[in-house]
Amino acid sequence: MTAWVGRCAGGVLYKKHFFRLVPVLVVLFFMSACGYHFAGSAANRLAAGQSLWVSFIRVEIDSPSAQTVLRRALLEECHALRGLYPSDSLATADLSIKGSLRTYSTQAMSYSKLDQVKEYRLTVAVDLELFRKGESTPFWKGTIQSYQDFPANTDLGLQRSSEAAALAAASHILAQKFLMAVEQAY
């Protein structure tokens, strides 16, 4: 009689674990059927040691420093994260980036008790294209957006300095998003 009770208890435990496993298997099945898969491939990978040329970013809005800051951030992040080095010219570059600044805006994000602006948000959106040497069609094309919050200040010099620092930070985030988007494209 005790052997029968032991088998029943074991059978109940087995069924209990089985019923926990079934929903996991069902979810995995439906995820794979819906097109979820690992993105990116070796062909999308940016290999270290390649040269990179970043053309001047076209600016369609009134921001004189945005183009320089964005270009510098793209070069710095590509070098730091993927080992790409800046090229002397477009003709000698293995990869080249073209782009245009679509959005550059600042909005008030938070207010003090006295209803004065306490914090701003700088938003930047850029259309970018990545080309391989000798190719006329882009290897990757898309729009990347980034933002950075910065404190408000009554002193105009400090306010502009904070906005410039926010632009630099947003540009670096944008460059990181660009690298991820290129390598995760499929």
3-state secondary structure of 163: helix
Range of the domain at 23: 1-37
Does pLDDT of 154 surpass 60? yes
Higher local confidence (pLDDT), 33 or 160? 160
Tell me, yes or no, whether 32 and 52 share the same domain: no
Query: What are 68-96's pLDDT values in tens digits?
Result: 999 999 999 999 989 999 999 999 999 99
β-pairing, 95-111 vs 117-132, is antiparallel
pLDDT digits (tens, 9 = 90+) for 100-134: 999 899 999 999 998 899 999 999 999 999 999 98
Burial of 100 (0-12, 13-18, 19+ CB in 10 A): middle
Residues 88 and 176 reside in one and the same domain: yes
pLDDT of 29 reads 67
Domain co-membership, 89 together with 53: yes
Are residues 180 and 106 part of one domain? yes
Q: Are residue 30 and residue 65 in the same domain, yes or no?
A: no
Task: Record the pTM.
Answer: 0.74
Q: Which pLDDT belongs to residue 8?
A: 52
User: Among positive and negative, which fits the CA dihedral 112, 113, 116, 121?
Assistant: positive
Residues 6 and 88 reside in one and the same domain: no
* Least confident segment among 44-53, 112-121, 139-148, 149-158: 44-53
* pLDDT tops 90 at residue 56: no
Q: Name the average pLDDT for the chain.
A: 84
- At 166 the three-state DSSP class reads helix
Whether residue 174 is predicted with pLDDT greater than 90 in this model: the reply is yes
Number of domains the chain is built from: 2
pLDDT for the residue numbered 32: 63
Domain CATH for 108: 3.30.160.150
| Residues β-bridged to residue 149 | 121
pLDDT band, residue 179 (cuts 50/70/90): very high
Residues sharing a CB contact under 8 Å with residue 138, sequence separation 6 or more, in sequence order? 129, 130, 131
**For a pLDDT cut of 90, what percent of the chain falls above it?**
56
